[in-house]
Chain A
Amino acid sequence: MSKFMFYPGCSMEASAKAYNESMLQILGPLGVEFQTLEDWNCCGATEYVGISLTPAYSLIARNLALAAKQAKGTDILVASCSACYLNLAKADHYMAERPLLDKNVNTALAAGNLHYDPGTVKIRHLLDVLVNDIGLDAIKAKVVKPLKGLRVAPYVGCMVPRPDYEHRWSDTEYPTELDRLLKALGADVIDFPLKTHCCGGHMTQIGPAVAFELIRRLVAGADQYKADMLVSLCPMCQLNVDAYQAEMNRYFKTNYHMPIIFFTQLIGLAFGVDPIKLGFGRELVDARPALNRIGVEVPVTEEPKSQPKRTKKTGLPMPTMPGQEEIEQ
């Protein structure tokens, strides 16, 4: 049993539910035990650092301090989301590099009776742990349904292999960890030149034109290589390419249909886990046709027949925001 601490991050509970569901399914067979960090908070994504430095790093460091405190038998904190992984690694790295930041962040943490010494916790990404600690042989040994005939484009994205402070990856621009893992599952892995290109990050919200071009490059690239799907390890990449593909198609008057699936979902599939338990069917760009071709049937989950219940009599269902005016117009 290999034991690690785990930092889920906000997306794993919402937009990247399929990532979480499939990850939980494959940990057991691989003999991995995750101790989820208790009462973790958001890492601030790429937003807080653009507003204010010390608060942004204090927000991240609270998680590191909690991890150091809760650590039992391991000092490795695994993150599955790219932005979370980078932010945690960054705070640890910069607190060590810049004594002033360390001092300020720890002064802030002291207000919450916490303290963090940089270097106490080792921050690793899920893929790194699976490939380097668990090992491809151990993964291969559990494959009962090789993904033979499935053409996949491994898409790593930016924030996992870059800037790579601890030199954990084979390359910052052309890492091969995901390729090797997918090959171990029996898939046909294409040599995808755009594997660490950007998905647009938060630009799908702020400046869609910038993001659509980046999404188009990825989708068109994978399509050119006749890939059945892109394989992702990041909630943001998956969300951008999946949820915004229709809008991107409308913008460029194209008609791409390129599903994007989390790598943990494919591991689960090769391990013979029921596709529904792996979160298949949650993607907006349907992956079923591609899976059908290799003989995997994903039943259609029942769509709710009635509208979701409305708590308010007026307007459309809107999120509730306790203690605050609902929406500014």
Chain B
Amino acid sequence: MYPRPVHPEDPNPNVRFLEAVSEATAGIARLEMCIQCGTCGGSCPSSADMDHTPRALFALIRAGYREEVLRSNTPWICVSCYNCVVRCPQGVHITDVMYTLKSMAIRAKLYKDSTAPDFSATFVDMVEKYGRSFELGLATRFMLKHQLNRLPSSGPMGLGMLTKKRLSMKPKQIQGIDQLTAILERAKELEAVP
């Protein structure tokens, strides 16, 4: 039996999910090439904490389980070590697909735990404002919101970093911040166009 053709104007987002993920990924994702061998999950240092292994996630993407995929914690547990990428026999850009899924999950408001998205958002906020990252600002703002219970153990560490002069007290702004803002504004407009 032949697979049923997809109507080009089918409005159901599940139908074209694989295409949508590939489209939104930086390079050529090669997601269609996945042969479900599981090398990715077997190579992953943090797969034990994922609700789906990368392989299972790719099967779900292919089967059009959009919501299930975007609710998954897998992309957020990925530590970007590229172990799976160099081992994948089909050359799938797995890590970059994970980044794509993160941004799609944020936009679709489907991932429930806000910890990781907030961390990224706070980081990006600093970078957009100053053109540089600002570790102390990021750490304090993020920790006060999400991990107050960690303060007793990470507090001494922060103090150690300060006394060793490894944290700047003030953010540094680049000279060309207006230029950078203009570039990022234009980039965001482009991103909004499907």
Contact = CB atoms under 8 A, between A and B. Distances in A.
Interface of A: 10-11, 13-17, 39-42, 44-55, 57-59, 62, 90, 93-94, 97-98, 101, 104-105, 107-114, 158-159, 162-164, 172-173, 197-198, 200-203, 205-211, 214, 243-244, 246-247, 250, 281-284, 303-304, 308, 317-322, 324, 327-329
A282 B123 contact: no
B80 A282 contact: no
Interface in B128-149: 129, 131-137, 139-142, 144-145
Q: Which of B76, B82, B106, B165 has most A Cβ within 10 Å?
A: B82
B161 A47 contact: no
B132 A200 contact: no
A134 B162 CA distance: 35
B108 interface: no
Given A48-B124, A111-B182, A113-B179, A247 B154 contact: yes
Given A51-B121, A202-B119, A319-B136, A111 B27 contact: no
A149 B12 CA distance: 66
B45 A114 contact: no
Q: Which 4 residue pairs of A and B lie closest in terms of their CB atoms, listed nearest first?
A: A162-B82, A108-B187, A198-B81, A158-B81
A201 to B, nearest CB: 5
Q: Is the interface of A mostly helix, strand, loop or mixed?
A: loop
Contact of A14 (B81, B100, B131, B167): B167
A111 B185 contact: yes
A101 B27 CA distance: 8
B191 A207 contact: no
A55 B176 CA distance: 16
Given A98-B26, A112-B176, A319-B169, A164 B103 contact: no
B116 A207 contact: yes
A137 B142 CA distance: 47
Given A59-B180, A163-B85, A197-B45, A206 B124 contact: no
A97 B27 contact: yes
A282 B144 CA distance: 26
Contacts of A321: 137, 171
Contacts, number: 235
Interface in B4-63: 24-28, 45-46, 49
A42 B124 CA distance: 10
Contacts of B184: 55, 58-59, 108
A205 B167 CA distance: 16
B102 interface: yes
Given A58-B183, A207-B115, A284 B157 contact: yes
Contact of A51 (B85, B124, B170): B124
A210 B145 CA distance: 20
Given A158-B82, A163-B82, A62 B116 contact: no
A113 B24 CA distance: 26
A243 B160 contact: yes
Contacts of B124: 44, 47-48, 51
A163 B183 contact: no
B138 to A, nearest CB: 8
B132 A41 contact: yes
A40 B86 contact: no
Given A47-B119, A54-B187, A112-B176, A14 B144 contact: no
Contacts of B110: none
B112 interface: no
A55 B190 CA distance: 9
A243 B46 CA distance: 21
Contacts of A211: 79
A210 B120 CA distance: 17
